[in-house]
Chains A and B, each alone.
Chain A
Amino acid sequence: MAESRADHDHATRRLWPALALPGTVWLIALFLVPFYAVMAVAFSGNINIFGEPIPAWNPLDWQFATFGQVVSDSLSGPFREAWSRTGLYTLAALVICVGVGYPVAYYTARLAGKRRGLILALILAPWWINYITRMLAWVNLLQDDGYVNKALGIFGIAPVSWLAGNSFTVVMALAYGYLPFFIIPLFSSLDRIDQRLLEASRDLGVGSVRTFFHVTLPLSKMGLTTALVITALPLAGDYYTNTIVSGSPDTTMIGNQIELYLLQGPQKNLGAALVLLLSLVLMFFMAYYLVMTQRASRDAR
């Protein structure tokens, strides 16, 4: 009996690490290796006949001149505008996501009752259609002689040139594209709030507005932060939305500049350096988020 128990302990000791194996392999194969490849390209010191960097797989061969140049171009050179546009567009799109997404998530979680299944399905419905197709549909609507301008014409408003490098269009398109990413995590957090806490608040004579600001909002803070982070990451790296609804240098985001270097020419070391820089910036926010969640779970305990 004692022996079989030892066997059992032995088996569990092996089982738990084994469960982590798929995730570990996934992480190494699809994150660490590609990320190392990006570094090998960004820190390459040699180019081939096509002007492409020859990846420096050995860290001892790494050269940082290109990366340094990209950093200085980002701080005060030609990339500065693209960076500030990226920050501004991401922020503006997030504000729209909060303005539109929070009420929708709140309604679905708290007030929709029997219809919540239907509403969730409707929120996810756009995902049944390919992202690019949806964006191209916007291009049709927003053309100079498209339906949007025709509709404005009814009210005597002059046609707007939506697609000629219009920042407003880009921000709206970004918010539209990523809104479901925002609503779903927020919904699940609002859904988990204990109904009794809200009832308690009401019982103590607090109105519904104050209940929202003093109970619901603080309790959904973590969900809101998660939703913001999950939405902000792809927003900040997006390039295709911009390509489709603008195509003008006037709205270039950092993702477009990365795309230019990686897909439209040989200077992939510059693109890789920008990828690293963008990752660093986003990692900074991620780290803040992780610290925050840890603090929150400690407080909860």
Chain B
Amino acid sequence: MAAAPLLAACGGDSGSQTLAGGKAPYPLARPDHPVRLPIKNSNPPVKDGLAPESGGDFKILNYDSYMAPGVMKDFGAKHNVQVQVTPYSNYDEMLAKIREPGESFDLVFPGPSVLSKMVYTELIQPLNHSYVPNLKNAWPEFQDPWYDRGARYTVPYTIYGTGVMYRADRVSDVPKNGYDLIWDKQYAGKVYLLDDLQEAIGMSLLRNGLTTDINTSDPKLVQKATDSLIELINLVKIQANVNAYSQVPEGTATIHQAWSGDPIAGQYYLPKGVSTDVLAYWRPDDPSQRVVGSDNIAIPKSSSKPVLAHMLINDLLDNQIALRNFGWNGYQPPLTKLSAQYLIDNDYIAHNLRDAVVLREDVTSGLTFYEVSPSTEALWRQNWSRFKAGG
């Protein structure tokens, strides 16, 4: 059972050099310490003015249900390729798949918390901006983001917040600290965490008022936050997955820690005859207490269709195509024209789910998961495995 992944891990791929001292061998990007990712001779961008490749497969490595099938189908038809999606449910899985020896992907969606690592190990290639004129449609801060100055390797895909999705028809009283819903035993058996160690432990840090530094390297704080998650096992029979968008509408979950795209996409997962009024979403009122994140689009170095990959990136930054994609997956693209007000005015978001819309000030003043040092990462993982082992 164990041998296959182990042997795969032994392949002589990138990143096989030893790491010592628990420190990353590259600078860790922070909003107040932005990073311009290096472009090496061994990993150049594609040249200008090439014709897009066509025929065969176009392989996307992405979260499940994260890009509209219609958008992919049209793109495939236009360029005469079969668009295929290989899904992952977290970055660990994504990194494992993209590093599989001999595997080739044409598009991938890394967030800032894994970016430097992927550039350092040459898993993704630099972009050639001459193929991506639509980058000008993005919010200015995403045309030159702190984690990738000059947008050398990435363009923005979506922005999202993290909060608590719940069934308004079953929850009569939402406490001021909405995270408390997850610790409320009257919903036992129907309460879920995001199956994501940063999101789950980070939420516990905030709920318990331990710190607002959701990237903390303090072992005591991480341990306390994890102990509080372990309490949930007996208290509410806690479970963890990333399916809030379908489980809350279908009713198998009453309370589910969720990304902001989940309630918006959830409107389409309601059983027949059930109104969107049953869906609700809570996030802290204060933008500086809100957890926000962004996902980016990048081209794997292993891509066999890098020019075509640039074309799809440019399409996804097109206002019309991005809007169509949002209408399906529920995650906002940070494009200037598609402001929160625009999305609400055009009925993309039900009135009662306004709290799920990510505002500009959320992104500028909210809390974000950063790429952390290997020792901090190990600390968080150790605690997460303690939770997963059942306490």
Residues of A at the B interface (CB closer than 8 Å) are: 34-35, 37-38, 40-41, 46-55, 78-79, 81-82, 85, 143-145, 161, 164-165, 237, 246-252, 256-258, 260-268, 270-272, 275
Contacts and interface: CB of A to CB of B under 8 A. Distances in A.
A70 B191 CA distance: 31
B90 A264 contact: yes
B385 A270 contact: yes
B233 interface: yes
Nearest to A250: B233
Of all A-B residue pairs in the complex, the 6 with the closest CB atoms, nearest first, are: A34-B3, A164-B189, A249-B390, A161-B189, A252-B390, A78-B386
A78 B385 contact: yes
B50 interface: no
B3 A37 contact: yes
B93 interface: yes
A91 to B, nearest CB: 18
Contacts of B381: 51, 265, 267
A270 B230 CA distance: 21
Contacts of A35: 3
B388 A257 contact: yes
B83 interface: no
Interface stretch (B11-19, B174-182, B294-302, B359-367): B11-19
B189, B374, B378, B386: most-surrounded residue (chain A CB, <10 A): B189
Nearest to A36: B3
Contacts of B92: 264-266
Contacts of B190: 164
Given A265-B92, A268-B9, A260 B18 contact: no
Contact of B390 (A38, A50, A55, A251): A251
Interface of B: 1-3, 5-7, 9-10, 15-19, 24-25, 90, 92-93, 95-96, 99, 117, 120-121, 188-190, 230, 233-234, 237-241, 251-252, 374, 377-378, 381, 385-391
B389 A82 contact: yes
A161 B24 CA distance: 45
A249 B5 contact: no
A165 B15 CA distance: 38
Contacts of B3: 34-35, 37-38
Nearest to B385: A260
A47 B233 contact: no
Nearest to B16: A48
Contacts of A265: 92, 381
Contact of A47 (B19, B24, B25, B99): B19
A49 B19 CA distance: 6
A48 B1 contact: no
B389 A247 contact: no
A37 B1 contact: no
13 contacts: A40-B10, A41-B6, A47-B374, A49-B25, A49-B121, A51-B374, A78-B386, A164-B190, A249-B230, A264-B93, A266-B95, A267-B381, A275-B1
B115 to A, nearest CB: 13
B2 A48 contact: no
B16 to A, nearest CB: 5
A48 B7 contact: no
A97 to B, nearest CB: 21
Given A41-B6, A258-B2, A267-B381, A248 B233 contact: yes
Given A164-B237, A165-B237, A247-B240, A49 B17 contact: yes
Contact of A51 (B121, B378, B386): B378
A25 to B, nearest CB: 16
A164 B236 CA distance: 10
Contacts of B96: 263
Given A164-B237, A248-B238, A260 B388 contact: yes
Nearest to A275: B2
A267 B121 CA distance: 18
A163 B6 CA distance: 31
A262 B390 CA distance: 18
A266 B380 CA distance: 13
